[in-house]
Amino acid sequence: MVEDTSYMFVTGPDVVKTVTNETITKEELGGAKTHSTVSGVAHRSFENDVEALNMTRRLFEYLPLSAQEEVRYWHRNA
């Protein structure tokens, strides 16, 4: 998730304010920091879209191209 631009929640801050009378921001309710440190919905948060895309590409380098391909293991000593 990208900090300050991506959010994930069932209902927004306006509904929370109406129901609980609590003021909360989109970031606090379902932003990147919340989901990568509290809820566990996201494993990482990124400063911008470019960083998120570069890290996604890096992740895909570890995956085999098909289910028939043997898994390549990464070893520290290799």
- Spell out the domain ranges in the chain: 1-71
Q: Roughly how many angstroms between the first and final C-alpha of the chain, as a whole number?
A: 32
pLDDT, position 28: 92
Convert the pLDDT of each residue in 20-46 to its tens digit.
999 999 999 999 999 999 998 999 999
Question: 65 pLDDT exceeds 90?
Answer: no
pLDDT, position 32: 92
